[in-house]
Amino acid sequence: MRITLGQNNYGKSHVRMLRLSRQERHHEIKELTLDISFEGDFDQAHIVGDNSKILATDTIKNTVYVLAKQYPPEPIEEFAEHLIDHFLTYNPQVSRVKISSTEHPWNRIAIGGKPHSTSFLRGGNERRTAMVTATREQTRFTAGIEDLAVMKTTGSAFEEFLRDPYTTLKETKDRILMTNVRAEWQYAAEEIAYSPIWHGVRQALIETFADHDSRSVQHTLYAMGEAVLKSFESISEIRLAMPNKHYNLADLKPFGLENNNEIFVPTEEPHGMIEATLKKDA
């Protein structure tokens, strides 16, 4: 019996890094988590234990810190490019590098309405993400947002859905719609203004969510993706995942009270999950 080695990769995951830029009395911070993966000529390490082509994952981690000193990690896509260029230049045995980056936002603390120059407050769970995958011939960029929490308290219905013997859900013309949006989009162009486009995509998603007359989460998801693709020529496709976080009416009848869509019980699990990819017609 012959055994062959299939696709394999290795790297360093959850590399945490904070870069502090000191500019006299004004400081800027950038906190990232990076997952770095190599594909290449590593068969002998698996088969006979020959590590001569294995760059230690500790070295991969150290490279992040060294290059963060040399290059500012803003935008995160360009910092990932610097890392990839380094790894491919000095490691001929590596054929492909994939870097997933997550930015953990910090906002300035406001004192007397004025942002403090050196003190910060964690900006919640929302994160900016990027994935850069490159060989020596091609580089692919994907950007995204995770845990963009949005809610609308009207303009959301769910009616005329399929029913079977186990259906108990009632139709509603007016419900709370809350979701934590996860979005990933693919760039089609080579020269990208990463940060301005990221902020523009985020704003387009938020504004469309707020203004859309929703017949379902699917209906609103499509409208949000469509708005992004129509607004940004450099984006070729976008994938959206929108969990439907339920807010159920509290039963106040035992207390002799009417609940006129005022008091709700938030629930985390289980929740609906709606996902879709929208692409431009080639």
Q: Which residues are catalytic?
A: 12, 57, 246
How far is the C-alpha of 193 from the C-alpha of 77, rounded, in Å? Answer: 10
* CB neighbour list of residue 84: distance below 8 Å, 6 or more residues apart: 97, 99, 132, 134, 139
**Residue 86 dihedral angles phi and psi, to the nearest 5°:** -65, -50
Using an 8 Å Cβ cutoff, are 264 and 249 in contact? yes
* CB neighbour list of residue 33: distance below 8 Å, 6 or more residues apart: 14, 15, 16, 17, 101, 102, 104
* CB neighbour list of residue 272: distance below 8 Å, 6 or more residues apart: 217, 243, 244, 246
